[in-house]
Amino acid sequence: MEKSRDIARLIEIMAALRTPETGCPWDLEQTFATIAPYTIEEAYEVAHAISLGDLDELRDELGDLLLQVVFHARMAEEKGAFDFGGVVEAITDKLIRRHPHVFGDARDLTPDEVSALWGKIKAQEKREKAARKGDATALPGALSQVKAGLPALARALELQKAAGKVGFDWNDIHAVLDKIEEESREVADAVKAGDRAHVEEEIGDLFFVMVNLARHAGVDPETALRAANAKFETRFGYVESELSKRGSAPQDANLAEMDALWNEAKKTRRI
C-alpha cells in the first residue's frame, strides 16, 4: 500500500476498517465509549513526546491522536450524526469566531485582552447552546467554562483558576501550606477512625490543596507529577538492577534492602 499525506486516504482506511464483513473485527466492535480511553491515552502520549523533546515521536503520536478523531467521526457518520468534514467545519468556525482580533474588527489587543475576549466569547457560546437545548440550568457561572471531561488533576487546576479570577483565592502561598497541614491531619484522623469513605474524601481534599500549592508556586502540577513518576521509575530501575547483580529480585528482597538501594540511587544518580 502506497504512503499518503492526504487526509482523505486516512478517512478511506478508517471506513474500510469499519466495513461490516470485510473490515477489522476489533474495529467493528468498538463504540464511542470503548474508544474514549484510547483517545485520552493518546493525548497523554503526545504530551509525553513533547516532554522528551522528541519531534519524531511527536509526529507519530500526533498521528495516533488524529486516528482517534477519524475513528470517532466515522462512528458518528455511521449513525448519521456528522462526519470528519463536519468536525473540520466546526473547529474552523470556532477558531474564526474566537479570533475577532485576527479575522474581525477587534485589533491591537494585548495577550491579556485576547484572553479576556476569548472567555467572553466562550461564555456567550455556552449561553446560546443552553438556549438551543432549553437547559435553564446551564447558565454560565464562574466555573461554567471548566470542562467536565478533563482529567481530575487538570480540572482541579482549572476550577481553582476560575474561582481565583473572581477573587475566591488565597493571596499567600503560606496559607496554602497551612491548609495542607490541616488536610493532612484530617486524613490521619480519618485513617485512625477506619472509615474508608471518609479517608477517600479527605485524600481528595488533600490532592485538591496540593494542586493549589502548585498553582500558587507557578508550577504545573501535571508536569511536576510526571517528573516525579520518571524519578521513581529511574530509582526503582536502579534498585532492580543492583538486586539483579546479586542474583536477586525485588520479590526476593526485604524492604530494608530495597530502601538502602533506593537511598544509594538518590546519592549516586543525584535524582
d(CA 84, CA 255): 54
Residue owning grid cell 538492577: 241
What was the pLDDT predicted at 232?
A: 94
What was the pLDDT predicted at 106?
A: 83
State the CB neighbour count (10 A cutoff) for residue 74.
19
d(CA 65, CA 169): 36
Domains and CATH numbers, the chain: 7-138 (1.10.287.1080), 152-219 (1.10.287.1080), 223-269 (no CATH)
Please check whether residue 35 is in contact with residue 14, taking contact to mean a CB–CB distance below 8 angstroms. Answer: no
d(CA 213, CA 197): 25
Residue owning grid cell 470556532: 94
Q: Residue 87 contacts by C-beta under 8 Å, 6 or more apart in sequence?
A: 69, 73
Please check whether residue 239 is in contact with residue 265, taking contact to mean a CB–CB distance below 8 angstroms. Answer: yes
Average pLDDT by consecutive 10-residue portion of the chain (271 residues)?
83 97 97 94 92 94 98 98 97 93 87 87 81 66 81 93 92 96 97 96 97 96 91 94 94 94 85 55
Q: Give this prediction's pTM.
A: 0.66
What was the pLDDT predicted at 13?
A: 96
d(CA 142, CA 167): 11
What was the pLDDT predicted at 2?
A: 64
What was the pLDDT predicted at 270?
A: 58
